Homo-oligomer: A and B are copies of this chain.
Amino acid sequence: MTTAAPPVEVAFYGGLGEIGANMASVEVGGRICVLDVGLTFPDAEHFGIDLILPDWSRLRARAADVACVVITHGHEDHMGALPFFLREFPGVPIYATRLTVGLLRAKLEEHPDVSADLRVVEAGERIETGPFDLEFVAVAHSIPDGMAVAFHTPHGTILHSGDFKLDQTPIDGKPTDLPHLAQLGDEGIALLLADSTNADVPGHVPSESRIGRTLRDVFDDAQGRIVVTTFASHVHRVQQVIDAATEVGRKVCFVGRSMVRNMPIARSLGYLDYDDESVVELSDVDRGPRDAAVIICTGSQGEPYAALSLMAAGQHRQITLERGDTVVMASSVIPGNESAIYRSINGLSRQGAEVVHKGIADVHVSGHAAADELKFFHNIVRAAAFVPVHGEYRHLLAHARVARETGTPAEQVFVCEDGDTVVLRDGRVTRGESFRPGRVYVDGLGVGDVGNAVLRERGKLSEEGICVAVVQIDQHARVVEEPQLFQQGVFYEREQPELMGLAAKALGDDLIRGTAHDSDPAVVRRLVSSALGRFWRDRTGRRPVILPILVEV
């Protein structure tokens, strides 16, 4: 295959290696299609940061060429950054399936300044838009209506798997469409990009349908209140909770903002099935007998103000737990959240509840295919080249191994990271030029104005606090008054009230010695920093931030 068309470039902005905010772009004929625009949540080292977005600054110079966005499914790490993206690229049409569009609409209501051109597509459909010839394939995942996307280009077909699993008995009867993938494979896939989340987990992921049986058993045994927590997007899990509740004669009650928001959307679009009379309001739960309802709530990751965390702390205004109650954590443990989740479990136990979690019962399965299932996927798709996506570096490496084991030639397996590109030309893939994306932090109203320099400052403040010294100097930079000292986070002043006086005295002595004659402000500042640094180090072993402030009087 040879064509005069410019080569196709695939670029990776997020989701490969470090940050889990998925975003890629595919450039065909000078036009750019963006594939997923996800966000991720901060770790403990991201002091004060609210959200982390992919860095799409590379696209700014090409704004006129950004032709469309495709969102593979409705998870935050695939669509969460879209409101921010649309502020920079207004009017770009967004293609997604029905449920994804429904969830996007609800999300965009929280950003009234953003308008979006949302276009519903369906798995199985093939559309043309500009130079893009796109085909959508149904995939099963931990949210309904997910899809893989094939880009038919003059240089060959690129298939992006989205997030998927190979559950052969999903509860909506819609497994990942392997026949469709096989047909694409027959036609020839030049480049496959596929989900690597579980590529280092051997074996197969059990079916979601197994959870339903466990839930029924647990509900059968439960005497008191039942609380189930899961992700507010996991419609199938919620369906199983509703079904099990109905079977044991309980109603369900949705608690937590995103749960209350999402479930009616999923229901109105036909992805969730329940009668009005099987749902009760929280106020009615509170008044009714303890065994009348199953509360389905947010907080599975131990998020500080989520419903379950408040219950664990005994601080939920409407729901109290007591001996004999049961809490089911029908959810995964997202790495980094372990301590918070264990804190929840300990708190719930202390309230008297029995806590059922995936460590002791089958109440959760992953939404991502494991290593041995990925082999099926590769053998069905039979791509000529492969880039593992969606995962930390170790996952990408593991997935590269799977691809080689199933026959992708080693030299056509490209382990990329955010900022890498690959180029497809005449059916062959090569590495392209890399760029250097940062991470864009959202902090309050600011998007991108807090970077690593500010985070380093916050980190230093968090470790040892700050000591501020106000020094009055005359016009010759001679110190004219004993300095005033203030501290935050260095030590507990009430317990050692004398320490600030000693510090001021030590500093004053040094300043008088150092500035007896004419001086200059820079010298005074240095003196303050070194004298106070020494004082705190000797006295406390700590190195607070020292902020010298000179006031000329």
Contact = CB atoms under 8 A, between A and B. Distances in A.
A72 B335 CA distance: 33
Interface in A189-205: 200-202
Contacts of A475: none
B549 A486 contact: yes
A43 interface: yes
A106 interface: no
Interface stretch (A7-15, A158-166, A272-280, A535-543): A535-543
A507 to B, nearest CB: 15
A451 interface: yes
Interface in A332-367: 335-336, 338-339, 342, 345-347, 349-350, 355, 359-360
A211 B156 CA distance: 48
A533 interface: no
A510 to B, nearest CB: 20
A360 B44 CA distance: 27
A394 B349 contact: yes
Contacts of A338: 335-336, 338
A463 B47 contact: yes
B491 A392 contact: no
A496 B549 CA distance: 21
A446 B541 contact: yes
A470 interface: yes
A488 B461 contact: yes
A170 interface: no
A188 interface: no
B346 A454 contact: no
A329 to B, nearest CB: 11
Which of A48, A349, A393, A465 counts the most chain B CB atoms within 10 A? A48
A458 interface: yes
A463 B304 CA distance: 15
A335 B345 contact: no
A484 B549 CA distance: 9
Given A48-B463, A541-B443, A549-B484, A449 B492 contact: yes
B551 A360 contact: no
B360 A200 contact: yes
B495 A449 contact: yes
Given A462-B461, A551-B484, A541 B394 contact: no
Contacts of A47: 462-463, 489
A81 interface: no
Contact of A345 (B44, B342, B394): B394
Contact of A445 (B347, B454, B463, B541): B541
Contacts of A457: 465, 488-489
Interface residues of A, number: 65
Contacts of A59: none
A490 B444 CA distance: 11
Given A342-B392, A394-B349, A489 B200 contact: no
Given A339-B336, A394-B349, A458 B465 contact: yes
Interface in A484-517: 484, 486, 488-492, 495-496
A553 interface: yes
Central interface residue in A393, A462, A486, by most chain B CB within 10 Å: A462
Interface in A514-548: 539-542, 545, 547
A86 interface: no
A416 interface: no
A363 to B, nearest CB: 14
Contacts of A465: 48, 454, 457-458, 461
A464 to B, nearest CB: 5
Given A458-B463, A462-B459, A463-B47, A444 B488 contact: no
Interface of A: 17, 43-45, 47-48, 200-202, 335-336, 338-339, 342, 345-347, 349-350, 355, 359-360, 392-394, 397, 443-446, 449-451, 453-454, 457-459, 461-466, 468, 470, 472, 484, 486, 488-492, 495-496, 539-542, 545, 547, 549, 551, 553
26 contacts: A17-B346, A44-B45, A47-B462, A48-B462, A48-B463, A48-B464, A48-B489, A202-B360, A335-B342, A342-B394, A347-B393, A355-B394, A443-B540, A446-B540, A449-B492, A449-B496, A451-B492, A453-B492, A454-B492, A457-B489, A458-B463, A459-B462, A466-B488, A484-B551, A486-B549, A551-B553
Given A457-B465, A458-B463, A551-B551, 14 more contacts: A47-B462, A48-B463, A346-B392, A346-B394, A349-B394, A350-B393, A445-B540, A446-B491, A449-B540, A450-B491, A457-B488, A461-B461, A466-B488, A470-B549
In order of increasing CB-CB distance, the 6 nearest A-B pairs are A444-B541, A462-B462, A44-B44, A445-B541, A461-B461, A48-B463
